[in-house]
Structure 1
Amino acid sequence: MIHSIGPYQEEHHQQLVDIWFRAVKLTHTFLNERDIQFYHNIVQNGALKEVEVWVYFNANENPIGFIGLEGAKVEMLFVDPNYHGQGVGTSLLQYAETIKGSHLEVDVNEQNEAAHKFYKRYGFVQEGRSELDSAGRPFPLLHLTLKSKNEGL
């Protein structure tokens, strides 16, 4: 798949919010409509501007995924559901590893089993757990750290 990865630009804001929304509706089945609206407001009104966002563009130069980083921590990683399973998320993690180093961290919702499996396949291991998410809501988080490919050698 021909693609490019570039920095967040305001002109793509609404497209990224739409990707977030459609991905969350598909993958975060433990959230009700009120919860989704709560988080949607956060993403719509500032979350994308509070972190370093890198956008994955397809061959037609349309955004189809993005990763938000705060230092070496992955704060968000969302892919257009039409492109799930096609390597977009992996490419974004590889890009993050290239620019931030191999000690990436991520928090993943415990109820989002597909995301947990995705990060585990990539090499992340669980280091901890919190009962509440970062907004103080009762959605437990698993704290994952990327296990260095050189560890244990």
Structure 2
Amino acid sequence: MLRKMKTDDLDPVVQIWLESNRQAHSFIEADYWEKNKEEVRKMLPHSLIEIAEIEGNIVGFIGMNETKIEGLFVNSNFQSRGIGHSLIEWAKTRNEVLTLYVYQKNQRALKFYLKEGFVIHKQLIDEETGEIEFLMQWKRP
């Protein structure tokens, strides 16, 4: 089930954000994510957040800022079950164009977004991490 984020959801959403980033970005020091956790906690209530829930448990979410996907995170125990696809589809139904950034070394996410119809628009260097990242874009056909 997909639904809008409520105030009570903040702690589990931040925890999924932290754990997912640590798992998907092993090439970045784990303390980088810990250092950014409080800033993310402050920003989340100001973004459009759609929650994926199974049996009353939050298992993932997508964060939007206008047409930019700020993040898509699914608890590792629930990956490869179509939850990420459902969250992307939710975003696609509301927008003609979507953009996002993904690290080049995050091959699982990169393959997922390519499968979802995103294309690499530009290659950049993330100044905070020094890692190569791609600006990806999806346009409604």
Q: What TM-score do you get using the length of structure 2 for normalisation? A: 0.92
State the distance in 2 between where 1:107 and 1:82 align. Answer: 24
2:115 corresponds to: 121
Equivalent in 15, 21, 26 of residue 23 of structure 2 = 26
1:54 corresponds to: 50
1:13 corresponds to: 10
Equivalent in 104, 109, 123 of residue 103 of structure 2 = 109
Q: Counterpart of 1:141 in structure 2: which amino acid?
A: E
* Residues 20 and 75 in structure 2, CA contact (< 8 A), matched pair in contact too: yes
Instruction: Give the unaligned 5+ runs of structure 2.
Output: none
Q: Percent identity?
A: 25
Distance 1:42 1:140, change over 3 A: farther
2:33 corresponds to: 36
* Residues 74 and 106 in structure 1, CA contact (< 8 A), matched pair in contact too: yes
State the distance in 1 between where 2:9 and 2:135 align. Answer: 29
State the distance in 1 between where 2:39 and 2:132 align. Answer: 19
State the distance in 2 between where 1:41 and 1:25 align. Answer: 15
* Residues 125 and 147 in structure 1, CA contact (< 8 A), matched pair in contact too: no
* Residues 56 and 63 in structure 1, CA contact (< 8 A), matched pair in contact too: yes
Q: Flag the structure with larger Rg.
A: 1
State the distance in 1 between where 2:95 and 2:50 align. Answer: 12
| Larger proportion of strand | 2
Instruction: Give the unaligned 5+ runs of structure 1.
Output: none
Q: Deviations over 1:90-132 (max 9, x none)?
A: 000000111223x111111122111111100111000102112
Q: Counterpart of 1:10 in structure 2: which amino acid?
A: T
State the distance in 1 between where 2:30 and 2:138 align. Answer: 32
Equivalent in 90, 95, 119 of residue 95 of structure 1 = 90
SS in 2 for 1:104: strand
* Residues 22 and 30 in structure 2, CA contact (< 8 A), matched pair in contact too: no
- Matched positions, count: 141
CA RMSD of aligned residues (A): 1.5
Distance 1:132 1:25, change over 3 A: closer
